[in-house]
Structures are given as C-alpha cells and as structure tokens.
C-alpha cells in the first residue's frame, strides 16, 4: 500500500527523462518498506531534487517511532533529539496512511531531515524559498478552502504540475527556509483558491500553539496549525544509479 | 480515603448531583461583598506540563493573582515549571525558596502556606487526598481530570464535594469541554431535543501513546514510576481514566449526569513494548447500560501510527449529531441543522477566567464535584469491567474496596503491578 503510487509515478518519470539530463530517483528508507521519489529541478544555482509529494505520515511516523524508541531514548549523547509524542492528536483525525504529515514545527522538520539524512546517506533539507519557487511550475490541481471540505487529502490525489510535482499549492502549506527564518509557503486546504502559491508565506505565531494545554508549549508540535506540512530537497541526486 | 461508604447507592449519587445546581445557582460567597481585592494567592501542586499550563492560565485570568507557593515530588520539576511561568508572567510567578515545597507531603505545606486557591495537577493517584486536604482547609480548588483512579478515591472526592458545597468554596474540574463555548451550546441543543431523545452515544478516543520517560540509574523504582506515571494503573488509572475520561464525561453530560446501571468492556495490551510501558492496557471498548435499556459506548486506544479519531457520534430519535473532538463544532442532521456560529475560545483559559470570577464573587460559586466524581467513576468502571472481564454494576464499582498503589509513599523498591487478566483479576483486590 505504501508504495503503490510511487511505483506508478516512477514508470511515468523514467519514460520522460533523457540520458543526458538529471534523472528522478527513488529513495528507499533502510529497514522499512517505504520509499519516495525525488524529481530533478534544473537550476543555474545548482540542480536539486525535490520530493514529488508532500511528506506523508507514513514516513514521518517512521521518524517518530525511531525518536521515541528505547534504542534512541537510552542512547545518551548519541540520541537524536526530536518530537516527543504530542499532547493531542495532531493529525486531527484527517487520516494517517497516505495523508500528509501536519502540525510539525520548523524545529521538528529540521530534526526529521537530520534523521532522514543519517538514515539515507544523502543530505535532505526543507527547500529554500528560491528552490520552492523554482519547483512551483505551472499546472497542477490543488486542495483548497473551496474544495477540500475542511480536511487534508491523501497526497498526490490531484494533477501534478508540469514537472510532475503534486500538491505544490494547497493541501498543506510547506516549510521553506528564508533569510528571515523558516516560513510556510504555498497555501493549504484552508486557503482560498485565489490565494494559493508563493504569495502565501506564513510565519509561525503564538496563535499556532495557543491551545496547547501544557507549558512549556511543545517545541515540536502546533496545537492550532493543522495546515503546516513539509516537502524535501536534496542536492545529492547524481550519486544515484 | 480508606473508609468504605458501603451504603452509597446510585440513587443517592444522582440525587446529590441534582442538588448541586440549586446550591450553585442561589448562593453567593460570603466575601462577595468585599470591596478591597487583595491579590489572589495561588498554590500550585504538581508542576508538570499541564499544571504549569493551568497555573499560567490562572495568572492570565487575573492580573491580581500570584503564584504564592509550589509543591512537587521533584525539585527539578518544580524549578523548571517556575522558570517557564516566570518567562510567561514575570515576577508574579517567582516563588521564594521558603515556599517551594518538595516531597510527598509538599501538598499540605502548600495548602498551609496562606494560599487562597490551589491548582491540583499531580498524577491522578494523589488527587483525592489533595482535594480533601484543600477543601478541608477551605481553599478554592482547580483539580485536573481524572479525580481518582479507584472507587475508594472517588468516594473521598464525593465527601470533599459535599464539604465544598457546605463551605461554599469553589471546586472546579479539569473536564475542560464543559467550559468550551461550542460544546456548551451543542449540549444545550441536545438537552433541548434538537435530535430527539438520545438513543445512542458512540464516543471515540483513538490516539497515539503518550510519552515515555527512560529510567535513569540513580532513580529508585518509585521515582521512575512517578516520573513515568502515565504507564502505571495505580498512578494514572490507565488511559481510559487518564485521557479518555474526557469522552466518558461527554457521555455523562449528554445523559444529564444519570448514572449507568452497569458496564461491560473489552480491553487489552496488544502492543508489547516492554517495561517502559508499565502495566496499562492500550485499548478499551466500553458499553454502559442505562436503566431504560439504552447503551452508550466508548472506544479508546493508544497505539502509534494508526487512524486517529476523537469525535463523538450521537444518534437521537429524530436526528444525528457529530461532535468534533478538536474544535467542538457539531454537525447535525435530521430534525436539526443547527450549527455553532459563536465565538471559539480556548477552553483551558475559559475555565480559569470563570474560576477567578467566581472566587472574586462576580459569579456564583462553582462546584463541579458531582459530575466530575461520576464521570471519573464511570471511566474507572469501564476499566474495571475490562480488567476483570465481568459485567460490573455502578454500585459495585462505587463501593469497591480496591485502593490501587502502595500504602506508604517512599522512594525505594516498588514492583510494577501485574497486568490485569480478564477472568482472573478481581474487582476488589
């Protein structure tokens, strides 16, 4: 189940690419049956690869499982610091398998990237805003305020944009880095259709975690920002076969 | 706490429940007429994340309130909590060294330190004793849910409830949904017959496991269990009591605090994650049977990476209502298409706003004791029906002589209690 649409996409992508150009690749995650696909984006500032979809819970949960495993909890100085379990059900009941991971802070997104990098041997990050804009090509469907019925939708259930990326605009907003710090870009299922895209750039505020009943409020989870998700980039695509 | 109240009956419980409304509605505190308002001195007992949040809300609700004294079993927890509070509220949360109390008896020292009200947010095992001490000393109380982990504890809370009514002191529960504006409006609709008589209530609390505290070598058994408290039945009551009690309380709310006559449950421990997970179960399926034959249900689960749900699905004689477990916003079908369009407020803050208003005398005294004790008991009943594998009556549960946990509290050796085995584990054990 976890790989069904990635396999379909891979066939499509392989058929499109020519041998002289950077190619998309499938990233396996060691010790799991989960894989995801990275799509090349040509850029004068260096080609990069960006994930074809938003990161689903399927992958984020593997990360959470590791962080909270006895192996990591008892690893002492070697432990990876990452999200402790959330106080509330941060998936909001929207759905888990195949649905985009949501409600994570920028700090959590960075911890996730660090874990994924250690797991795969490639350096994964959240995109810079420039990378995100470069990848935000024309075309593609979107889940937005007028059609999403107040919920996230499974990843890649609308049309891809012209380079084959799903949900760049809408479904969940996506973390990017900017000179001013991390921001959430693209709009989400809560954003009016006419406001989707790079014009919607949000900064985390206190309001994103106002109903966390605990103090200190979680540095890893937002109790009130169910529209925040993430997408991955790497510069290490060429090292693939 | 050890005294069994052998003759408590369901009828008396219900009768006590109806009496509270009248008292609460008609009586103003004797000091309501005071003109000068001295700072409200808040005592804060149990300095974890939720308690610190509650203390912050109390200070937010009343700019004249100060944290006067703090108590916790562990000094590092107390200091960390105070630093967080000072970061939010400044000097009002700066508690001098002589009023920082550490140890199992810290609660009494906080209560005796000259406070006006207390926030009781330790692990639930200790709650009945803390409520009793605070109410006896005529302190206003905010106590987090659940209020007890066994029938013995609930009986103590009932006694404290009666005493708080007699003394006209505030006793507010952490059943926060009762203070959520959307849910208040929804339950008013339900009680007014928006979907006809409620025929069934299916509540869900499908969630992920809570945190685990890995053991440090320097910790005794007792210290480890205290710090890792959500994984031991004697400390937290199991997750149906510790967490899903919110959903039990909503069932109880819908039923206007009518007690069920009995309960049948299934439950178990499917995820074998080792000693860090203590002796609790990870899922329950509970059915409460009412005197007129109606059956209300709760499913709850703490397992990772599964589909989560925290909505309630209510079927009435003429319509249905889904109560959203995150926003409280309802969706009604059938005889009503009412939707909530009012304000969305942070229910955790609403609680403390209303408590401070009541303490000031601006509003009538609050006493949540009857419903909070009954909802807690219903959650314990759901657990015990699963643990024992038996159909247990409400009265049997109320009069159960079981008292979970060690008799004396000391940091030392303490075996993890056995995992309950349906068909073998007894209600009175």
A207 touches chain B (CB under 8 A): no
Shortest CB distance from B304 goes to which of A65, A210, A215? A65
Taking 50 as the threshold, does the pLDDT of residue B315 lie above it? yes
Q: What is the pLDDT of residue B9?
A: 59
Within 8 A of A215 by CB-CB distance, chain B residues are: 49, 52-53, 55-56, 81, 84-85, 88
Shortest CB distance from A61 goes to which of B274, B305, B310? B305
Shortest CB distance from B52 goes to which of A64, A74, A214? A214
For residue B414 the two structure tokens come to 């303490």
Q: What is the pLDDT of residue B2?
A: 42
pLDDT in tens, B82-126: 999 999 999 999 999 999 999 999 999 999 999 999 999 999 999
A79 touches chain B (CB under 8 A): no
Question: Given its phi and psi angles, is residue A197 left (phi above 0), alpha (psi -120 to 50 degrees) or beta?
Answer: left
pLDDT in tens, A149-196: 999 999 999 999 999 999 999 999 999 999 999 999 999 999 999 999
- With a pLDDT cut of 90, the percent of chain B lying above it is 85
How large is the average pLDDT for residues B167-193?
97
Q: Which residues of chain A have pLDDT under 50?
A: 1-15, 17-19, 241
Interatomic CA distance for residues B80 and B70, integer angstroms: 12
CA-CA distances (angstroms) from residue B116 to A162, B359, B377?
Answer: 66, 9, 28
Q: What is the pLDDT of residue B27?
A: 46
pLDDT in tens, B13-65: 655 544 444 444 444 444 444 445 678 999 999 999 999 999 999 999 999 99
Q: Which three-class secondary structure state does DSSP give residue B157?
A: helix
Interatomic CA distance for residues A196 and A187, integer angstroms: 5
Q: What is the pLDDT of residue A86?
A: 82
H, E, C per residue of chain A: CCCHHHHHHHHHHHHHCCCCCCCCEEEECCCCCCEEEEEEECCCCCCEEEECCCCEHHHHHHHHHHHCCHHHHCCHHHCCCCCCCCCCCCCCCCCCCCCECCCECHHHHHHHHHHHHHHHCCCEECCEHHHHHHHCCCCCCCCCCCCCCCCCCCCCCCCCCCCCCCCCCCCCEEEEEECCEEEEEECCCCCCHHHCEEEEEECCCHHHHCCCCCCCCCCCECCCCCCEECCCEECCCCCCC
Query: Contact B141/B171 with Cβ under 8 angstroms?
Result: yes
Q: Which three-class secondary structure state does DSSP give residue B105?
A: coil
A211 touches chain B (CB under 8 A): yes
A76 touches chain B (CB under 8 A): no
For residue B327 the two structure tokens come to 């926003």
Interatomic CA distance for residues B402 and B393, integer angstroms: 15
Query: Contact A232/A50 with Cβ under 8 angstroms?
Result: yes
- Quick check: B214 and A210 CB within 8 A? no
B305 Cα to chain A: minimum distance (Å): 6
A166 Cα to chain B: minimum distance (Å): 23
Within 8 A of B81 by CB-CB distance, chain A residues are: 215
- Quick check: A89 and B211 CB within 8 A? no
Return the ∠ at Cα B235 (arms to B411 and B413), rounded to 5°: 25
pLDDT in tens, B55-90: 999 999 999 999 999 999 999 999 999 999 999 999
Shortest CB distance from B209 goes to which of A85, A88, A97? A85
Q: Is A49 exposed, middle or buried (0-12, 13-18, 19+ CB in 10 A)?
A: buried
B176 touches chain A (CB under 8 A): yes
B276 touches chain A (CB under 8 A): yes
Nearest-by-CA chain B residue for A65:
B304
* A228-229 and A173-178 strand pairing: parallel
Within 8 A of B274 by CB-CB distance, chain A residues are: 70
Within 8 A of B210 by CB-CB distance, chain A residues are: 85
A84 touches chain B (CB under 8 A): yes
Shortest CB distance from A215 goes to which of B53, B211, B325? B53
Taking 90 as the threshold, does the pLDDT of residue B274 lie above it? no
How does DSSP assign B215-261, residue by residue?
Answer: PPTT--HHHHHHHTGGG-HHHH--HHHHTTHHHHHHHHHHTTTPPPS
């Amino acid at each position: 189940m976890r790989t069904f649409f990635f396999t379909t996409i891979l066939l499509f992508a392989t058929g499109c690419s020519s041998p002289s150009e950077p190619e998309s690749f499938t990233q396996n995650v060691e010790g799991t049956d989960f894989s995801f696909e990275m799509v090349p984006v040509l850029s004068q500032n260096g080609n990069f690869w960006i994930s074809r979809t938003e990161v689903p819970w399927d992958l984020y949960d593997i990360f959470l499982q590791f962080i909270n495993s006895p192996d990591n909890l008892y690893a002492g100085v070697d432990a990876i610091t990452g999200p402790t379990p959330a106080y509330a059900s941060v998936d909001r009941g929207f759905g888990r398998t195949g649905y985009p991971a949501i409600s994570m802070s920028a700090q959590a997104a960075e911890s996730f990237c660090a874990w994924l990098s250690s797991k795969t041997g490639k350096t994964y990050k959240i995109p810079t805003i420039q990378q995100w804009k470069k990848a935000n090509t024309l075309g593609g469907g979107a889940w937005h305020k007028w059609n999403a019925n107040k919920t996230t939708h499974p990843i890649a259930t609308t049309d891809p944009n012209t380079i084959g990326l799903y949900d760049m605009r809408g479904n969940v907003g996506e973390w990017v880095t900017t000179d001013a710090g991390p921001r959430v870009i693209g709009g989400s299922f809560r954003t009016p259709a006419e406001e989707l895209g790079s014009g919607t750039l949000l900064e985390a505020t206190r309001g994103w975690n106002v109903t966390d009943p605990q103090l200190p409020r979680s540095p890893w989870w937002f109790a009130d920002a169910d529209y925040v998700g993430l997408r991955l980039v790497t510069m290490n695509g060429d090292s693939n076969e | 706490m050890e005294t069994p109240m052998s003759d408590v009956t369901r009828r008396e419980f219900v009768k006590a429940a109806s009496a509270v409304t009248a008292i609460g509605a008609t009586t103003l505190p004797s000091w309501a007429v005071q003109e000068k308002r001295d700072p409200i001195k808040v005592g804060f007992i149990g300095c974890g994340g939720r308690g610190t949040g509650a203390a912050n809300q109390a200070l937010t609700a009343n700019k004249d309130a100060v944290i006067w004294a703090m108590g916790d079993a562990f000094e590092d927890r107390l200091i960390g909590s105070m630093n967080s509070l000072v970061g939010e509220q400044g000097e009002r949360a700066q508690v001098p060294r002589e009023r920082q109390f550490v140890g199992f008896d810290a609660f009494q020292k906080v209560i005796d330190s000259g406070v006006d009200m207390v926030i009781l947010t330790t692990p639930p095992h200790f709650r009945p004793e803390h409520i009793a001490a605070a109410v006896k000393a005529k302190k206003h109380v905010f106590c987090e849910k659940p209020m007890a982990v066994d029938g013995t504890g609930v009986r103590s809370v009932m006694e404290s409830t009666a005493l708080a009514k007699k003394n006209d002191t505030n006793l507010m529960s952490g059943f926060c949904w009762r203070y959520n504006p959307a849910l208040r409006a929804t339950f008013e609709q339900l009680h007014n017959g928006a979907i006809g008589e409620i025929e069934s209530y299916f509540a869900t609390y499908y969630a992920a496991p809570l945190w685990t505290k890995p053991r440090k070598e320097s910790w005794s058994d007792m210290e480890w269990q205290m710090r890792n408290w959500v994984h031991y039945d004697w400390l937290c009551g199991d997750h149906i009591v510790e967490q899903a009690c919110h959903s039990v309380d909503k069932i109880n709310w819908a039923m206007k605090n009518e007690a069920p006559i009995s309960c049948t449950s299934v439950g178990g421990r499917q995820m074998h994650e080792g000693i860090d997970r203590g002796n609790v179960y990870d899922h329950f399926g509970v059915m409460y049977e009412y005197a007129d034959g109606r059956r209300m249900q709760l499913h709850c689960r703490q397992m990772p990476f599964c589909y989560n749900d925290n909505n309630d699905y209510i079927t009435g004689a003429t319509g249905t209502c889904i109560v959203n477990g995150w926003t409280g916003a309802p969706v009604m079908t059938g005889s009503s298409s009412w939707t909530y369009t009012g304000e969305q407020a942070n229910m955790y803050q609403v609680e403390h706003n209303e408590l401070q208003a009541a303490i000031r005398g601006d509003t009538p005294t609050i006493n949540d004791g009857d419903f909070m004790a009954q909802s807690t008991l219903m959650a314990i009943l759901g657990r015990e029906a699963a643990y024992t594998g038996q159909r247990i009556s409400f009265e049997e549960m109320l009069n159960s002589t079981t008292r979970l946990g060690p008799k004396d509290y000391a940091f030392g050796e303490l075996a993890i209690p056995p995992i309950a085995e349906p068909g073998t584990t007894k209600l009175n054990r």
